[in-house]
Amino acid sequence: MSKTPAPKTAPKGAKKTDPGADVAMLEAPAPANRFADRFAPPKPPVRGAGHVDETPRIAAKGDPKLANAWKTKSGAELTDAEVLAMPDSEYMNAKQIEFFRAKLTELKDGVLSNAGETTEHLREDTTIVPDPADRATIEEEHALELRTRDRERKLLKKIVQSIARLDTGEYGYCDETGEPIGLGRLIARPTATLSLEAQQRRELKQKMFGD
């Protein structure tokens, strides 16, 4: 006669648990150890929660020394920061025109100097080089210098046109809209004739319809 095992009873004093308790215990996260925080991936920052913006800000407009430097210096002596700190009401005044004339003249002299160096390099005679590999290298360098010279020739033409615009009072204003181009764009690109918005529209049109 077989005996059936008696059902196991919980020990005295133990609390009764429901059937899902074991599952809940299995799903509970493991306790953190001392290595968890060290090797855990960095958590993404929470927007607006104690975030400190460490991006450097240029406080040129708020610096009285920069904002008033143009009153005591000539235009050619002004720095980029001092020009940017000038009030908007002084846009393209005599000091700024003098400042950009000096910048364009310096850029023009640099282009002409580079053109003279390129001419000297092109005078080298490749026929006296016995090694064909060396001769090919020199010819490749000459071709590169010619392409550079062509870009500088186009830049020189823009510089001369920009200096002429200074004389006519058109410098600093967009050719398409007539609005100010902005000091920041002119300092970065002294030969600019279009505002940033007009330049973007033109590039988009060229991309869509070609030249």
On whether the pTM is more than 0.85, the answer is no
| CB-CB contact of 139 with 133 (8 Å) | no
| Per-residue pLDDT at 171 | 96
pLDDT of residue 58: 43
Is-contact 174 193, C-beta < 8 A?
yes
pLDDT digits (tens, 9 = 90+) for 86-132: 999 999 999 999 999 999 999 999 888 877 666 665 665 555 666 77
Residue 120: predicted pLDDT = 60
Which residues, in sequence order, are bridge partners of residue 173?
A: 180
What pLDDT, on the 0 to 100 scale, is given for residue 43? 53
- Closest CA relative to residue 93, chosen from 172, 196, 191, 195: 172
Task: Quick: pLDDT tens for 9-28.
Answer: 545 544 444 544 444 444 44
* Summary mean pLDDT of the chain: 74
Burial class of residue 178, CB neighbours in 10 A (0-12, 13-18, 19+): exposed
DSSP 210: -
